[in-house]
Amino acid sequence: MAEPAPLQLSKRRVTRRFPIACLLCALAALMLIPISSRLPAQTRPSQYDVEAAYLLDFGKFTQFSNDSQALRKATFDVCIVGRDPIGPTIDKLAANDTVENRAVRVLRDANASQARTCAIAYFNSHDDDLTRESLNLLAGADVLTVGDSPNFLKDGGMVQFVVETNHVRFAVNLDAVRKTHLVLSSQLLRVALYVEGHPKPEAGP
């Protein structure tokens, strides 16, 4: 894996010293982009691609109670509340994946009441007020709330994406999870960047 920080530093130094040369190089690079974009394995996935993939994987490591509205449905619904930056990727992934033996369905522009019937609700960070409001409405519902705003866990969210050294990680707020019937797998918690709150005291083995 290349280490990104020193690379960026060197870039900056180069642009300062040789601006014209860099411009020419950038032009050449731009000309090459369409070609490289056709080579899928070589492009590094974006933050949202990773978030989309993780979103489905969270579902796989979450235990939904059989009474939850999400499991009463034939599909595993993922609601996107607010803006949708992960749309194209999640559509692709959803088409080839199942969670809880159900086909994955993506519902966009969902409001809070719609989100209550979903298994996972995703909140983009562009509108923190909407997020906070929706989380309040969803409090106690068996919906795994996932977001990428910096205060997502403080606002009552369960899983928050954290970008650390250009690396998408996540943090968990167990207090929020504890208010619902959801159980997050210990395996998931093990790879979390950090975990806030405490698990359910009566949680069985």
Partner 1 sequence: MSIWNSRTISGKLTRINLLMSGTALVLAYISFLAYGLYTLRGNLISSLTAEASIVGENSVTALMFDDRQAAQATLSALQSSPQIQWAAIVRPDGTVFARYVRNASNPPELGAKLAPGQKVGHWQRGQGILLASRIEFQGKPVGEVYLLAATADLARSAIEFGIISAGILLLCFLIALLATSAFRRLLTEPLNSLAETAQAVSRERDYSMRAKTPRSGDELAALVQSFNEMLDQIQERDRALETSRIDLEERVRDRTAELTTANKELEAFTYSVAHDLRGPLQQINNIGFLLEQAEDNFPTMPQTRALIDKLGSGTRRMSMLIEDLLNLSRATSTPLHRTPIDLSSMAEEILAGLQAEDSSRHVAITVEKGARAIADEGLIHVVLENVLRNAWKYTSKTPAAEIGFSYAEESAGPVFSVHDNGAGFNPQYADRLFKPFQRLHSQNEFPGTGIGLATAYRIVTRHGGRIWAKGKVNGGAEFCFTLPYVAEP
Which residues bind to partner 1, rule: CB under 8 A? 41, 50, 54, 57, 60-61, 167-170, 185, 187-188, 190-191
Select 52 or 138, whichever has its Cβ closest to partner 1.
52
Provide the minimum distance between the beta carbon of 58 and partner 1 in the complex, in angstroms, as a whole number: 9
Provide the minimum distance between the beta carbon of 162 and partner 1 in the complex, in angstroms, as a whole number: 12
C-alpha distances (whole Å) from 183 to each of 4, 27, 80, 119 are: 36, 51, 21, 13
Select 84 or 100, whichever has its Cβ closest to partner 1.
100
Provide the minimum distance between the beta carbon of 190 and partner 1 in the complex, in angstroms, as a whole number: 6
Select 66 or 165, whichever has its Cβ closest to partner 1.
165
How many residues are listed for the chain in this entry?
A: 205
Provide the minimum distance between the beta carbon of 165 and partner 1 in the complex, in angstroms, as a whole number: 12
Select 50 or 90, whichever has its Cβ closest to partner 1.
50
Select 130 or 192, whichever has its Cβ closest to partner 1.
192
CA 167 to chain centre: 12
Which residue is it, tokens 């250009």?
Answer: 166
C-alpha distances (whole Å) from 80 to each of 11, 70, 91, 202 are: 37, 15, 12, 32
Which residue is it, tokens 């994987």?
Answer: 57
With CA atoms as reference, report the closest residue to 53 among 2, 102, 104, 3: 104
d(CA 90, CA 54): 10
Provide the minimum distance between the beta carbon of 106 and partner 1 in the complex, in angstroms, as a whole number: 19
Could you tell me the strand order of the sheet in which 98-99 lies? Answer: 98-99, 102-107, 75-81, 120-123, 144-147, 159-164, 167-173, 194-196
